[in-house]
Structures are given as structure tokens and as C-alpha cells.
Chains A and B, each alone.
Chain A
């Protein structure tokens, strides 16, 4: 997994609430046995519309997606973050995320940032007002600021996830450090509740 430290990137605004995983990647595009190659499938149905945000030249090359509440609701398909990452996004900023999607982002070097409704509102305004609007996302400091430093906001992130993302660490390797504990737990459970085995 790629490390995430500091990202300075162009912001693309997606002004809709409850964007679900069927919109992020429609199921026609799930038929691959690989983790890559989903860039063209991202928001596939909406991209037929020439006015759609990703079709506007001013947002070409965006690496930060600005979104509304409950982003990523619906399916557990990891193809959703895969498609966002494949397209070039490294960060999604929204007032709230659906649980499974939020979790899946961290496994793929994609940072989901939760800011308040008011902060997100202001960013939508700035995005519309200033062509080429960029943000600087600093994971170590848990901060989001405008490129000129005039505004800065703080976000929360769980310490373990932050550590893994900052260092690009593989979860499985980290968990296997506890292999002994897992084996002990399993042996105890098997003795006590053999019907689960």
C-alpha cells in the first residue's frame, strides 16, 4: 500500500448527499478478478453527462474529492475505493461516511477526512469561486488547509489507522505479530465451544 503523508491537490466538488457505492462504481464494472483497471468505471453512469464534475476541464487532475454527507453508503465492494484511487484520488473530504466504505479507504491508501458540515460547505463555496482551488492535507498533523494557508481545519483519525497509512503498512503483517495470542484464543474457544469448529 502507498504511504500517505502530505498531499497538496486540486479539489473536485461532488455536490450530492448519500452518494452510494452503486454510483461510485456501477456493478457492470465489477467483473474483474484484479484490483486495478477501474478508473473508467468511476461514476460511470454520471460521466455520460458532459456537465458532470469529472468532465469539466478545470477539475482535470484532481486528487481530492469534496463530497457531502453519508458518502459511500451501500455495498461493501472495495471496487469503490479501488476506482477512486485508480482515477487518481488520494483523499475524500466529507461531513460523514458510511462505515464499511470508510474502513475500506484506509486499506487502499485513500484518506477519508471528516470535517464539519459548515467547513465542508465553505469548501464547496471556495471550490466554485476559485478555479484551481487546492487543499493541503497533512495526515501527521491531522490538518487540512488552503494552499495559501489562509484557512486551516483539523480532523480526527484513529491512531492505528493513521500509523498504518503514514507508513504504508500491511495490516496482515501487523496482525500476525499476535499469531500466538490468536492460536491461544482459538484453542480455548475450541475446547469450550466445539460446535463452532
Chain B
């Protein structure tokens, strides 16, 4: 029987298996950031252990770093606890080392899931882990990539392996051409709307089909990024020409004869035609419209031309209660048209949508226009220093600034509001990030997840608009 891409990645990293199926898999790339690593390094030190292979580590500070006042240096970090975490990472990097470390203020610093691929530190066929659930992003490169807890961060540092069990195989096939204005974000929101936030639990999802094949690497990263929002720790896409073209020439990618050998190996990172999946889901891309979440879970999502659903029409009591609670938190009435929802803030950024392609899409919508008067703040936070520099070369920063957006330094920013970029209590935000949980962007914050083009259009109109009608 043929193997799935996930089967191949699993088999090629298997070091040891216990009788009950508990396995040790080898980890090629370990991404480290300031929030989930300090306790792991402390644990290592307390036990008198050394990292197994420091050149597997790529590190940066991204979660709580400020996105302004960089000219002040460390003094610009006003929060003493954030400062302590950043300095602790600095100290751990000095003591233990890494393949490469992009500290706070470095030109190449950025969101860990943006800089890994950007640097060629994420290569096809790798196992990639990080103490962050959006590590699934790297699956876009046919990697087995998933988030781990801090105890596991320490375990990988000490042993270069992860104790885990094989997941089941799931394939989500999306076929057909996407309509005008539709993006990878709408595709993944549509998938989550279909299968739910626990739909992929216990599975590794392979995203396949002609629609996925036609996406750029940036788009594939957006899709894989939110696999965790569908319950799947890992999402992935098979290798093709698009993958190889993206990786070639990156700083940490192989070059010359070694590139040829590597590329030949990577070509095999696809599911065999006769591979069996435990579960298959199919979507027709032609039916995908711009999506907007209305509730406090990514599965609470509708198309922009629809209305906020009515809990009274939900038969399942548990779901109905969840919907009612979400509507109270979100301050929304059932049957309100999505396009009637007015906004206070707009956030364009996060590991889901802060790459150059995302900024270009948003800028194209914004160009020559101004923020609506009800928008109190609109942030554009590039995913990395290199994305920021590229956008500035293309003049995108001017487009955003002229419209009234704030053009910030890279980081996780308002996606989770660990720094001072937050949505206030009761404020409503159109956000290109990945989670609309209660309090995610700040206590009492009301988050609506959308694509960069939809967020940009909402910033100009002051309410949600159907980007397909944007002229």
C-alpha cells in the first residue's frame, strides 16, 4: 500500500518505538522564542544537562517585543516582565548558542514562523518543532511541523527527540479556481467552518487539490498555520515546483551540487497515488466566498454576504449555549448582516498574514483612500524586518501611512496582545490573525478574523464590506 506524505515524514524520523506505539522521533529544526523557552533552559541547567545539538536551534524574540520605539533600544521595552523574558533569551543564547539567533532589534528579527522559511532554515522533509502551536505553518514546505509545550522544548533540547505517537491521516482537498479577491485565508476559514475546531484532532492534515497547488508559498503557509485551529497539530502540503522555487537561494538552503541532490530527494515528498487516508474532506473552491468570523471560536464563521446566525435555529443544546454566550461577548444580535458590523480597530499582521504578499494585497485595497472616521486605530505589523524592508522598497509603507494606518516594527503584536498593542474592552477589531477567543487581543476585546484584503477594505469603509465588490 502507498504511503501518505505524513507516513513518509514519520518513517524517516523514527528513532525508536515502544510496544505500545510510543515513539521517539528525531527533530531537525527547533525554533525558540522568549515566552516558552526560559523554563526549559532553566530545567536543563538545574538537571546539569547540555543541549544535544545547538545547531538545530533557530531563535528570535517576537511574542512580547514592542512594535514601536525601536530607536530607544532596550529602553523602549516598557514592560519589565517582557524585558526580563527578552534578556533571559539573550542570556540563554550566549550561554548555549544556536545555529542562528535574531535578537530583538536585529534587522532580520521577526515572527518565528515568518523568519524560519524566509531564511531557508525551514527545509522540505524536516521535522520542525517550537513552543508555539502555529508551528504548523512550516508544514507548507512538506515538513512535519507542530507546536510543543515547554517540557517538550526542554526534552528536545536535551535529547534532539520528541516522545510522541503517530497521528491519523486526513486529507482536505480543495479543487477549482478561487474567485476574484479570494485568498488562502478564506480557504482555511471555509475549511474550519466545515470541519470545526476539533475536526482535525488526532490527525495530521494534508492540504491538497488544484486550489492548494495554485497557491503561493505564502498562501500555503496561511493555510497550514491555521491547521491547529481545525484541531490538527500538523498541516502540510506536498513539494512541487513552487516549493523548490521559494527555497532556492535562501541563506540556509543548500547550494550548488548539494542543492541538486536535495531537490531530487524533496521531489519524493508527496503522498503516493494509492495512499490511504483515515478521513477525506473535499471543498469546491468556486463556492468559497470572503469569510468573517462572528463568534469566539474560529469555527463560528460565515461568508461576508451572510448574517450573524440565530442560536434559536441550532438544535444541539450545547452548541446553542455556546452561540448565545459568544453573541453576548461579541455584543452582536442574531441575524445582523455581517456588512452592517461597524469596527473600531484593524490589525494587519501575525504569523497567519504578515508576509509580503499579504501586505501587497492589503495595500492594493487601501491605495489612494483614507481610514473611515470610526476607526480608532489601524496597525500594519510586518512579519519580519526583511518583509518590512521589502515592503518599504515597494512603497507599501507610504500607501498605508497616507491612508492613516500605523506602520510598525515586526512582531506578534496585536494577534495576542502580549505587548502593548491591544484591543480594548468592548472594542471591535477586524484582524488578519488566527484566534478570536475571548480576551485574545485584550480583555473584553471582540475579534473578527478576516483576510488582509477584507481587513483593509473594512478599515476604509468602517464596517465589513464584500471585497469582491471593491473597486
Contact = CB atoms under 8 A, between A and B. Distances in A.
B75 interface: no
A46 to B, nearest CB: 9
A108 B154 CA distance: 13
A196 B159 contact: no
Given A30-B418, A178-B24, A197 B254 contact: no
Contacts of B7: none
B443 A195 contact: no
B443 A100 contact: no
Contact of A181 (B16, B152, B437): B16
Given A69-B198, A195-B254, A195-B262, A74 B418 contact: no
A71 to B, nearest CB: 10
Given A30-B35, A31-B418, A104-B149, A17 B322 contact: yes
Interface residues of B, number: 78
B187 to A, nearest CB: 21
Interface in A67-106: 68-70, 73-78, 81, 96, 98-100, 103-104
B20 interface: yes
B64 to A, nearest CB: 7
A27 interface: yes
Nearest to A197: B55
Contact of A175 (B55, B163, B254): B163
Interface in A154-182: 158-161, 170-172, 175-176, 178-179, 181-182
A116 interface: no
A31 B231 contact: no
Contacts of B198: 18, 69-70, 73, 96, 98
B154 A33 contact: no
B318 A45 contact: no
A158 B22 contact: yes
Nearest to B422: A28
B437 A100 contact: no
B118 interface: no
B275 interface: no
B81 A18 contact: no
A18 B297 contact: yes
B85 A33 contact: yes
Given A100-B133, A178-B24, A182-B159, A78 B149 contact: yes
A68 B81 contact: no
Interface stretch (A5-13, A133-141, A185-193): A185-193
Interface string B424-462: 000000000001011110010000000000000000000
Given A30-B418, A178-B24, A76 B15 contact: no
A182 B158 contact: no
Contact of B151 (A28, A171, A178): A171
Nearest to B252: A195
A126 interface: no
B435 A160 contact: no
Interface string B234-276: 0000000000000000000110001001100100000000000
Given A76-B131, A78-B149, A185 B26 contact: yes
B315 to A, nearest CB: 15
11 contacts: A17-B322, A26-B439, A33-B85, A45-B438, A45-B443, A76-B36, A78-B39, A172-B49, A172-B155, A195-B123, A196-B123
Interface of A: 16-18, 20, 22-23, 26-28, 30-35, 45, 68-70, 73-78, 81, 96, 98-100, 103-104, 107-108, 158-161, 170-172, 175-176, 178-179, 181-182, 185-186, 189, 193-197
Given A74-B133, A175-B163, 9 more contacts: A33-B42, A74-B435, A77-B131, A99-B202, A107-B149, A159-B22, A181-B16, A182-B161, A193-B262
- The 9 A-B residue pairs with the shortest CB-CB distance, nearest first, are A31-B81, A107-B151, A76-B147, A33-B38, A104-B149, A78-B149, A160-B22, A195-B254, A159-B20
